[in-house]
Amino acid sequence: MARRLIVLVVLSLSLIGVSVRAEGESPQHIIAYFSSWSIYARQYFVTDIAADMLTDINYAFANISDSGECVLGDEWADTQFSYPGEKEGDGLLGNFHQLELLKEQHPDLHTLISIGGWTWSSKFSDVALTDESRKKFATSCVAFMKQYGFDGLDIDWEYPTGGGNSGNVERPEDTANFVLLLTELRTQLDAQGGIDGEHYLLTIAAGSNKDAVSKVDWKQVQEQLDWINVMAYDFAGPWTPTTGHNAPVYQSKSDSSANNNADTALKAYLAAGVPAEKLVLGVPFYGHIWKEVGTQNDGLFQPYGGISGEGTLDYKAISKDWFPLMERHWDDVAKVPWLFNPKAGMMISYDDPESLAYKADYVKQNNFAGVMIWELSNDSPDHALLTAVHDALLPNE
C-alpha cells in the first residue's frame, strides 16, 4: 500500500507540472547541446557522444515556420542522414534516430529539442503575441516532441528582452508574452503528460546580462520550468574594446565591470526569485582569440588590433594547435585561464579542465541544478572537458 501511495503521489505531482526526481536520479544535471551541423565539417556524430557522462542532451535546433509552428531545422541531418548500417527506406534516420538508440543504451538519459537559438529566434515575438498564436505554437511543439521521441522542450529565445540577431522581430510586450508563451507550453506538456503518464521537461536558455534578468518576471517564469540554463559566457569577445575573460566565475581584479562574471549573473537570478535548484550554470567548450595585443598584464584586458579568423576557437583546436605556441596563465580570482604569446601578440581566453572542475564545484557548493555545455563537438577527442565536469560534479556516477 505504501509503495502504491508513493507512485500515485509522484504521478499526481508530475501531472500538475512539478518536476519529480526519480529514485537514484542525479541531484545535479549535466546538460550538453548537440548541434545538427556538427556532422558536417566537424565530423562529430551522435555516436561520438559520451552519454554515460550526461544526464540530458539538448538538440540544436528546431526552427519556427512562417506560419508559427515548430519545424525541422535541418531535415537531412535530423531525419534523413544515414549512419553506418542504415539505408534510405529504413524509416526515421539521421540524428533523431540515433538519439533514440542512444536512449535505449542509456535509459536514464533525457533528450530535449531546443527551439530557436541565436539564428532562429526571429519569429518568437510573433508566436508569443496572441493566445491563438501561443496555442498553435505550443501544440506544434508538443507534437514535434512526441513524433521524434524527445523528452521535453528547450526554448532558446534570444532574447525576449531584445538585443538578439539583427532582423529579429521585437515588441515592447515581448517580456510579458514570454511568460504567457511558457505557461501555454507548460499547460500543453502537462496535458500530454497526463495522457502518457510522463512528466515532460520544459527548460530555457537565458542570458547573463543585466537586461536579461531585470526586464522579466522570473518568479512567474520559473514556475513553468524544470530549470533555466544561464549562458554564463561571452562576457568578452571580438565585440568588446579590450581582451578579457570569456567565462569567468568571479569578477577579475583587472575587470572594471562587476557584471561580467557567472557569479553575478546567477545571484541576479536568485534575487529575482529563481530558486537555486532551478538554475544551471552554462559553460563554454570554446574560447576567443585576439591578435595585435600589447604585453601589459600578459595580454589580459588590453586593447587589440584585430582578431584571428572569426575570433572563436573550439577547445580541441586550442589544445591541439595553440598550447604549444603560447604560455598559459591563471586568474586565481576569476578562476579561469588564458593563453598569451607576447612575441606574436596573440591572446586566447578559454576554459580548460581545471576551470571547469572549479565551476562544477561552484555549482555543488551553491546547490545549483547543474552544468550546461555549449557544445559537445567543441571538446577534444578524448572528452577532456566533459570528463572534468563529470568527475567533479557526479564523481560516483
List all residues 6 or more positions away from 175 whose beta carbon is below 8 Å from its beta carbon.
160, 161, 215, 216, 217
Catalytic residue list contains 86: no
CA–CA–CA angle 116, 198, 206 (5° rounding): 30
Which residue out of 69, 158, 184, 375 is catalytically annotated? 158
| HSE of 169, CA atoms in CB hemisphere, 13 A | 13
**Is the peptide bond preceding residue 358 cis, with omega within 30 degrees of 0?**
no
Q: Report the distance separating Cα 396 and Cα 4, nearest Å.
A: 30
List all residues 6 or more positions away from 235 whose beta carbon is below 8 Å from its beta carbon.
208, 244, 245, 246, 247, 248, 260, 261
Q: Report the distance separating Cα 137 and Cα 39, nearest Å.
A: 28
Region of 157 (left: φ > 0; alpha: ψ -120 to 50; beta: rest) is beta
First to last CA, the chain: 31
Q: Report the distance separating Cα 273 and Cα 295, nearest Å.
A: 43
Is the alpha carbon torsion for 60, 51, 77, 193 positive or negative? negative
Q: Report the distance separating Cα 66 and Cα 378, nearest Å.
A: 32
Give me the helices (H) in the chain, please.
2-15, 75, 94-105, 124-127, 131-147, 174-196, 210-214, 218-224, 262-271, 315-317, 353-365, 384-393
Residue 42, judged by CB atoms within 10 A of its CB (0-12, 13-18, 19+), counts as: middle
Region of 228 (left: φ > 0; alpha: ψ -120 to 50; beta: rest) is beta
Q: Which residues of 314-333 are buried (b: 16+ CB within 10 A; e: fewer)?
A: bbbbbbeebeeebeeeebee
Name the CA radius of gyration of the chain, rounded. Answer: 21
Q: Which residues are catalytically annotated?
A: 158
